[in-house]
A and B are shown apart, each in its own frame.
Chain A
Amino acid sequence: MSIPRVLNQKNRILLKELTKTDFKLRYQGSVLGYLWALLRPLLMFVVLYIVFGYFLRFNDGTPHFSLYLLTGIVLWSFFTECTGQGIQAMVMRGDLIRKISFPKWVVVVSSTGTALINLGINLIVVVVFALLNGIMPSWSWLLVPFSIVELYALALGISFLFGAINVKYRDISSIWDVLIQAMFYAVPIIYPISMVMGISESAAKVLLLNPIAQAIQDVRYNLITDQTVTTWGLVGEGIFVLKFIPISLVVVILIWGALYFRRKSKFFAEEV
């Protein structure tokens, strides 16, 4: 299936309209409304900073630890929101799927739209925060979008794969909730990876094979400081190909998820 056929005018209209509706409905009936998109990660940041930055002293000599933390939280929230919405998308839009014939992937992609918009706004906050921290804009900032595309591709792949299974076995979304909570601690968000390296360098290397960790570290590297330990810098000294494990994982999951989704989507209308 070629790109122009997949993204034909009809699908584009539908994608836009579904995204718009999702976005409008998300914060309807709340007083602060859209402000919540900003407040949620910021409040989480404040809590985590007080606990891990101020009291537990997790900063381990990292320069700009608060900015480090904020960047991590913003990207992590984006990833959890994308996958959470994406996996549930088919079930949430069951009424549509049962009644009208249209490409199902449109629903999954549109469900991540709000998360993308939220990320955009939160990144502005991150940049403002960075400037206030005395970080000068540099050309390396232009590399940040690549990491975000990678993170988004992973989230989409997982949404397609688990979303398709979730149509029949609704346990998947609960399993994913638990998994993502566990994964929060496996990704260097509240602690700098240097802390892990101090205890076991091989453990740090394993953690950095996770595409989410790799993407977050890369954003920190390009945005905040080139002191950041990245997958590229730490992993695969002897075996060069190891450096490509995270990105390969993303590609494999995205392709596998999309193919699986396409094969199963024929039966969604009957099963949802």
Chain B
Amino acid sequence: MRRTVGRRVVYNDDNNPIAIKVVNLHKDFRLPTEKAWGLKQAFFNRLKGVKGFKTQKVLNGLDFEIEKGEFVGIVGRNGSGKSTLLKVLSGIYVPQKGAIEINGNLVPFIELGVGFNPDLTGRENIYMNGALLGFSNAEMDKMYPKIVKFAELEDFMDQKLKNYSSGMQVRLAFSIAIRAKGDILILDEVLAVGDAEFQQKCNDYFRSLHGNQTVILVTHNMENVEEFCDRAILLEKGKVTMDGDPKKVAEAYKKLWD
């Protein structure tokens, strides 16, 4: 059985004020039912006419547009489809139905510390992570001191990552991530980083982005939504149920549990 595939296009048009356009976006997941892994089970499932998977609708017809320079928050309960939306936007998942148009260059990171390996040193991990963000060795050489300084980890760079505390790991990851350059930045729950002082640095960074960069931020922290976002989108069961003023959306979000 072939799965249908929606459209995802990336283009570059300086005259178009729209950065991201999402039209009737659908995404289903096939969740394997009772051990559908493995050839034997696949064979028996076919014999019995069992599909071997259950379809779960995660995104259920989303429509929205994001303009260039907007800082948009996406909020919703667990399982409302936020992370799936980000993954479809960044091209990790293919859309199933509908279309995504992306105008500009998308920073390809979703979570912090992708590709981090506990058996590599801090330094090696920086270069690995940088390569995933598309930086060459020469570019990384130039950025390296700044990254280390921002992370405040000067004394730890030749130690293996597994000897870092979890706070130190996230600080390192965050410091690399903010070096990423692109027209559109996609961030998934990255604000809760490190101790109070480092948190301050992060907030300064987000404030500096405001107005200069198109940002999509997924978070559960409504203070951040109200402080940084120009606009917020509320997702419920894979649908946009509210789109507009961050304060109102934050209120609606808090009411989801009432």
Spot the interface stretch: A10-18, A60-68, A112-120, A247-255.
A10-18
Q: Which of A99, A101, A170 has the most CB of B within 10 A?
A: A99
A98 to B87, CA, bound (A): 9
How would residues 163 to 196 of chain A score, 1 for a CB under 8 Å from any chain B CB and 0 otherwise? Answer: 0000011111000000000000000000000000
Q: Which of B93, B110, B115 has the most CB of A within 10 A?
A: B115
A99 to B132, CA, bound (A): 11
B-facing residues in A89-133 (Cβ within 8 Å): 95-102
How would residues 223 to 255 of chain A score, 1 for a CB under 8 Å from any chain B CB and 0 otherwise? Answer: 000000000000000000000000000000000
Assuming A21-B124, A25-B120, is B92 touching A99 (CB within 8 A)?
A: yes
Which of B94, B119, B132 touches A14 (beta carbons < 8 Å)? Answer: B132
Chain A interface residues toward B at CB < 8 A: 9-10, 13-14, 16-18, 21, 24-25, 28-29, 95-102, 168-172, 266-267, 269-270
Which of A28, A102, A270 touches B108 (beta carbons < 8 Å)? Answer: A102
Chain B interface residues toward A at CB < 8 A: 3, 5, 29-30, 37-40, 42, 87, 90-94, 108-111, 114-115, 117, 119-120, 124, 127-128, 131-132, 134-137
A47 to B183, CA, bound (A): 60
Q: A96–B120 contact, CB under 8 A?
A: no
List B contacts of A16 (CB < 8 A): 131
Assuming A13-B136, A24-B120, A100-B108, is B29 touching A270 (CB within 8 A)?
A: yes
Q: B94–A169 contact, CB under 8 A?
A: no
A269 to B40, CA, bound (A): 23
When C-beta atoms are compared, the residue in chain A nearest to B112 turns out to be A99
Which of B29, B93, B115 touches A96 (beta carbons < 8 Å)? Answer: B115
Given contacts A17-B131, A99-B114, 19 further A-B contacts (CB under 8 A): A13-B135, A14-B131, A17-B127, A25-B117, A25-B120, A96-B132, A97-B92, A100-B108, A100-B109, A100-B115, A101-B91, A102-B132, A170-B38, A171-B38, A171-B40, A172-B39, A269-B87, A270-B30, A270-B93
- 7 pairs of A and B residues whose beta carbons are closest in the complex: A17-B131, A101-B91, A171-B39, A99-B114, A10-B134, A101-B92, A269-B92
Q: Is the interface of A mostly helix, strand, loop or mixed?
A: helix
A10 to B87, CA, bound (A): 20
Q: How many A-B residue pairs have CB under 8 A?
A: 73
Q: A267–B114 contact, CB under 8 A?
A: no
Q: B131–A13 contact, CB under 8 A?
A: yes
Q: Is the interface of B mostly helix, strand, loop or mixed?
A: loop
Q: How far is the CB of B88 from chain A (nearest CB, A)?
A: 10
Q: How far is the CB of B94 from chain A (nearest CB, A)?
A: 5
Which of A9, A100, A168 touches B92 (beta carbons < 8 Å)? Answer: A100
Q: B108–A266 contact, CB under 8 A?
A: no
Which of B5, B110, B134 touches A266 (beta carbons < 8 Å)? Answer: B5
When C-beta atoms are compared, the residue in chain A nearest to B91 turns out to be A101
Q: How far is the CB of A53 from chain B (nearest CB, A)?
A: 40
Assuming A28-B119, A169-B38, A266-B5, is B131 touching A98 (CB within 8 A)?
A: no
List A contacts of B131 (CB < 8 A): 13-14, 16-18
When C-beta atoms are compared, the residue in chain B nearest to A21 turns out to be B128
Q: How far is the CB of A136 from chain B (nearest CB, A)?
A: 42
When C-beta atoms are compared, the residue in chain A nearest to B135 turns out to be A13
A98 to B92, CA, bound (A): 7
List A contacts of B5 (CB < 8 A): 266
A29 to B134, CA, bound (A): 30
Assuming A25-B120, A98-B92, A100-B109, is B134 touching A267 (CB within 8 A)?
A: no
When C-beta atoms are compared, the residue in chain A nearest to B160 turns out to be A28
A217 to B37, CA, bound (A): 40
When C-beta atoms are compared, the residue in chain B nearest to A14 turns out to be B131
